A and B are shown apart, each in its own frame.
Chain A
Amino acid sequence: MKQSTFTVLLMLLLSSASYAEIQLNATMLSLPCTGCHGSEGKSQRAIPSLNVMSREQIYRAMKSFKNDQRHATLMNRIAKGYSDSELRLIADYFGVKP
């Protein structure tokens, strides 16, 4: 019993480790955002445009949503889905859009 629990834990650990190592492409990370924030991060209404923000502004906002240091209706739930380095890639993607 103990042995199998250990095996399961080890497998979980290994799988999550390999999972974390997957290098994601900035475009593939960022395109899911544009359904809400608009193509190229240009929003038409209510939801903030991302292209007008700097890379650092986007990154800091996402980090503070992720850590619940800043209140939002929905972004806290989304930001928790990404590692810090992934948030950096997303910020870099939208931060340079015209």
Chain B
Amino acid sequence: MKEWPRRDALKLLLASSGLALTACSGLSRVTKQRLRVVVIGAGFGGATAAKYIALNNPQIEVLLIERKKAFISGVFSNTVIAGINDIDGITHPLQRLQANHRINLICATVTAVDPEQRKVWLESGERISYDRLVVSPGIDIRWNALEGYDQAASILMPHAWQAGQQTLLLKQQLRAMPDGGVVVISSPADPFRCPPGPYERASLIAYYLKRHKPRSKILILDSKNSFAKQPLFEQGWQRLYPGMIEWISLSNGGRVVAVEAAQGRVHTEIDEFKPDVANIIPPQQAGQIAQQAGLVDSTGWCPVNQQTFESHQIPGIYVIGDSSLAGYMPKSAYAANCQAKVCAQAVVADLVGEAPLEPTFINTCYSLLAPDYAISIAAVYRLRSGEIMPVNGAGGSTPIQATLEDLASEAGYARGWYRNIVADSFG
């Protein structure tokens, strides 16, 4: 069993300028050992938090624990399914964080958190101590929340809501489908990761089918009565894929309640479907380690102080990204990136005995309907009475009367957005 000691602290502090010591007055622990922040999960939230803690205060030792060697983003994974991008285009190595910001990357799975001892346990049995812990594990699928939808079923009916093998599986199934086939996309009730995602997926699957299997249909079975950017999606479907996409709302019986994966059957409350391809986007909850560590409440998500992202359940642990309950912010990559920077400032301030600064947030989210047609939604957020709320009069969606030229520009910006957020988070 290996412990990760923090004894190199003094050496490093002495090597650095004396300014840091005086700036960190009241920081008695620093003289004993270097302060350490452990971050669990290297998605848009965790990677950004690790990077910005390191940037904010180079005296702090940052350990980033991630079980995968590279990050595969859910964002833009629909372009892989549509065949306009490949999986390498959404796969991002984590080594640059180590090289550029001296973050210690640990490729491992965390099995437990001990908040009393301030230690995390790895699958290998190793223990890593921390002064502050940031948890950013994304989502976990709520297996069997839809009757019959378990891990085995997800091989036959991929969710593709955690990118990687699942993305490729859905892509393969679409390639194998006959022309004239039916694709079912089951969309869950709120809250879930990437609210416009199912509808972008329907659009980009339609883009593929229109070119290769034009007699095919897409049926969206929804557990909601409305969805993000709905008028813009519907306008786009009318323009680009007339007659190809049908949306069945909750009140029209769209809610999927069960699947029989081996038989290829999808059941709603009132109907039964036997599609050629079933993409089941199931109900979700906070990532597994957040559940295990006791960071979730009865909603299955993690309540936090929305100024700092410190857990309401366990002090010294911060939860950001999809797992957190962050007021009115959606579960998006941009939200996670933004929350991570606010959290990074709060963690560093806390460690040096200062008050956290007043945060502001932005969310910007593009959805591609075709390679040259995209729509967006944005919001500016502030803290009001402890809750993250959108600023009135700002934000909103692409105007419904936007020109085709603007929609094409948005597609270009969407690709620029992707490049920049990836670099800001992983670079």
Query: Footprint of B on A, CB under 8 Å?
Result: 19, 22-25, 27-29, 31-39, 43-47, 73-74, 77-82
Contact = CB atoms under 8 A, between A and B. Distances in A.
Interface stretch (B62-70, B247-255, B390-398): B390-398
B402 A73 contact: yes
Contacts of A43: 416, 420
Contacts of B52: 31
B415 interface: yes
Given A32-B341, A74-B376, A44 B362 contact: no
A82 B364 CA distance: 16
Nearest to B390: A81
A46 B342 contact: no
Interface string B341-366: 11001000000000001111110100
A38 B358 contact: no
Contact of B420 (A32, A45, A73): A45
Interface of B: 52, 334, 337-338, 341-342, 345, 357-362, 364, 376, 378-380, 382, 384, 391, 393-396, 398, 402, 406, 409-410, 412-413, 415-417, 419-421, 423-425, 427
A46 B415 contact: yes
A35 B412 contact: no
B409 A73 contact: yes
A39 B423 contact: yes
Contacts of B394: 77-82
Contact of B364 (A23, A36, A46): A36
A24 B409 contact: no
B417 A47 contact: yes
A20 to B, nearest CB: 11
A45 to B, nearest CB: 4
Given A19-B384, A73-B409, A77-B394, A28 B362 contact: no
A3 to B, nearest CB: 23
Nearest to B361: A32
Given A28-B359, A39-B424, A45-B419, A81 B395 contact: yes
A44 to B, nearest CB: 4
Nearest to A37: B420
B420 A47 contact: yes
Identify the interface centre among A19, A35, A78: most chain B CB within 10 Å of its CB. Answer: A35
Contact of B416 (A19, A22, A25, A45): A45
